[in-house]
Structure 1
Amino acid sequence: MRTNNKLNKPENRSFIEDARRAQIVDCAIEVIATKGFVNTSISRIAEEAGISKGVISYHFLSKEELIQQVVMEVYQAGAIYMDSHMKGKVKAKDILKAYIESNLAFMGDNPKKIIAVTEILANARTKEGKRLFDVTANDQFLAPIIQLLELGQQDGSFRALSTFSAKVLATTIRDTIDGVGFQLALDPNLDLESYSKELKILFDLATRKEEII
């Protein structure tokens, strides 16, 4: 058994080790998405990958560390995907539409990743019983949306918002989008394109400036 975590540092890993870790993460996503988090074990992931449990233990110190890697990689992939779709947008109104659209488009292109992360967020707990991940009202996730709402007020796209109102709206936007992931887990045939259109209309109305008649 390894007694240190040096291998887990990217600068200490070889190309082959990185490839093996990526394979294990992909297999973990497959098992969690198809079997559910509560039915996922290192043994099942090893079976899916066609390797021994020892190989997984060599690359990840625990199931918890592997699960954290899954969530981190999916969020990073989502951020890269969304950035590419929002690139070139200047007006806050257009950026918000692209933000919503790219979120749901990523879900549509990567359903198993979304279902796996949804399973993890809902069920993963520490040994003490606390949720392993809690992104509810997390400032790290809300900050970009709040900044976007501020930009919209500056460029005239959005109505005036107090600090409190902006946080409420940002939380609603983020929670609504995250909720789509839970619905996708229940219904793999969910019409994400139509859902995206409705959300864009909804939040356009929520941020629109009142017209003076």
Structure 2
Amino acid sequence: MPRQDEQNKQIRDARSEQILQAAAQVFARRGMAAAKISDIAKEAGLSHGLVYHYFKSKEEIFTTLVKKASENSMDIIQQANQREGTPLQKLQWMTEQMIESIGSGEEVLLFLIMIQASTSDAVPEEVKETLKMSSPVEVTAPLIIAGQREGEIIQADPIQLTVTYYALIQGLAINKIQWQECPMPDPMMIINIFRKRGE
């Protein structure tokens, strides 16, 4: 019996992931407000009813995607912070991971979902709460400040530097969605913007 339960869970997880991936495509094209469950079902190649079996509404799907995107980015930032090395080396590793995920196309739609989540009035209240609780700027700024203290990162307002960093990453993600052949820059090009030059 436990083996049967495990197989059922794997099927449920795979189906749920299939719906989420299809939804990311639909939300990216149509936006949260205009997307319909029927669009998501069609994209996933599933029946309307089956999608409702897994998710109560498109809002629940959107919220799940935002949480997933938020967890992914927080996970990378936390892994970077726990690595050996200087603050700039940690930032470089983090940048490599983000550019690789954008370049491979795996996570690129999640970047767009996050942008929609933070700019659209149509998003559910739960999404707004998730965004408030998990700001990548807040958790990355200490890394920038540590790099400034060690003389590796240019002296400027650390929040402004962190916002600039994420604007670059998000901009690359948007370019990749609009232009699939968009060449991704070497991570060092981004790091060098923040690197303090020798006097």
| Fold equivalence (TM over 0.5) | yes
| 1:193 maps to 2:185 | yes
Cα distance change of structure 1 residues 139 and 167 upon mapping to structure 2, 3 Å threshold = farther
Residue of structure 1 equivalent to 2:173: 181
Match of 2:142 among 147, 165, 181: 147
Unaligned runs of 5+ residues in structure 2 are 1-7
Match of 1:172 among 154, 157, 164: 164
One-letter amino acid of the structure 1 residue matched with residue 176 of structure 2 = L
Q: Provide the aligned C-alpha RMSD in A.
A: 3.5
Cα distance change of structure 1 residues 142 and 85 upon mapping to structure 2, 3 Å threshold = closer
Whole-angstrom CA distance in 1 between matches of 2:114 and 2:39 = 16
Cα distance change of structure 1 residues 85 and 141 upon mapping to structure 2, 3 Å threshold = closer
Match of 1:126 among 117, 122, 142: 122
- Give the CA deviation at 1:138: 8.3
**Residue pair 1:36, 1:119 contacting (<8 A) in 2 also:** no
- Give the CA deviation at 1:50: 2.6
- Give the CA deviation at 1:180: 1.6
TM-score w.r.t. length of structure 2: 0.73
Unaligned runs of 5+ residues in structure 1 are 1-12
From the two aligned structures, give the one with the greater helix fraction.
2
Q: Report 1:2-151 matches (<5 A).
A: 14-33=9-28, 35-37=29-31, 40-80=35-75, 88-109=83-104, 111=105, 113-115=107-109, 117-118=111-112, 121-122=115-116, 124-126=120-122, 140-151=135-146
Whole-angstrom CA distance in 2 between matches of 1:26 and 1:199 = 29
TM-score w.r.t. length of structure 1: 0.69
1:38-70 CA-to-partner distances (Å, cap 9, x unmatched) read 764211221232322122122212111101212
Identical positions, percent: 20
**Residue pair 1:85, 1:102 contacting (<8 A) in 2 also:** no
